[in-house]
Amino acid sequence: MLNYAQFLLKKISSLDLNQESFSNSILCLTQVSLVKPVIMPTRRQFLTANRDFPIRPPWSIAEAEFTQYCSGCGACVLICPEKILRLGSGNFPEVDFNRGECLFCQSCVDSCLEAVFDTKQTQAWNIKATINQQCLHYHHSECRRCEEGCETFAIRFVPKVNQIALPQINWQDCNGCGACVRYCPTQAIHMKRMVT
């Protein structure tokens, strides 16, 4: 038999920000609060329950530590010249490549007063572009806008006999800047975190 504190902890650990059930869970907790005081989970507890977490600014430290130390002040969001950062769930900064590309200018890093960035990391982040079959070339139409927009020449179109060339991304050359995302007229390009 669970006591009240154990019951609340069980409820809190089952919360998932990305699901509609989140609001139901909050409602449930609120209803419980009519009987006894509610111990609300911290922002960090909310987010560490969600493994598919958003892309943080470049040079961010590991997610668990980032959400522990980031104060949600929004300084990085305000200073980003490309305006690709916004405060998302839990008031933590997230990158939105639909707004633009990362210039790796480190303005976000320099604006931050908390220990959530590590510029000694050789890579700014481990995210890469992927292209799905919404690409016009899978539908027999020439486009190549992403190839033209990629400054590191990571996107190539591989010719095929009697077929339209299909896109290929060389991940070794992709720095995750996200510039190609905006160029695509069919939203076929997505930035994905690579598992190491």
Those residues with Cβ within 8 angstroms of residue 65's Cβ, 6 or more apart along the chain or in another chain:
116
Q: Is 70 in the site for ligand SF4 (CB under 6 A)?
A: yes
What's the one-letter identity of residue 161?
Answer: V
Q: Is 55 in the site for ligand SF4 (CB under 6 A)?
A: no
Among 41, 53, 178, 188, binds ligand SF4 (CB under 6 A): 178
Q: Is 71 in the site for ligand SF4 (CB under 6 A)?
A: yes
Q: Is 82 in the site for ligand SF4 (CB under 6 A)?
A: yes
C-beta of residue 111 within 8 angstroms of C-beta of residue 175: no
Among 42, 133, 152, 163, binds ligand SF4 (CB under 6 A): 152
Q: Is 169 in the site for ligand SF4 (CB under 6 A)?
A: yes
Those residues with Cβ within 8 angstroms of residue 57's Cβ, 6 or more apart along the chain or in another chain:
76, 80, 85, 93, 95, 108, 109, 117
Greatest CA separation for the chain: 71
Of 189, 157, 155, 188, the closest CA to residue 173 belongs to 155
Binding range to ligand SF4, per CB under 6 A, among 5-13, 14-22, 39-47, 150-158: 150-158
- What is the binding site for ligand SF4 (CB under 6 A)? 57-58, 70-76, 80-82, 84-85, 93, 102-108, 111-112, 114, 116, 129, 149-150, 152, 154-155, 169, 174-180
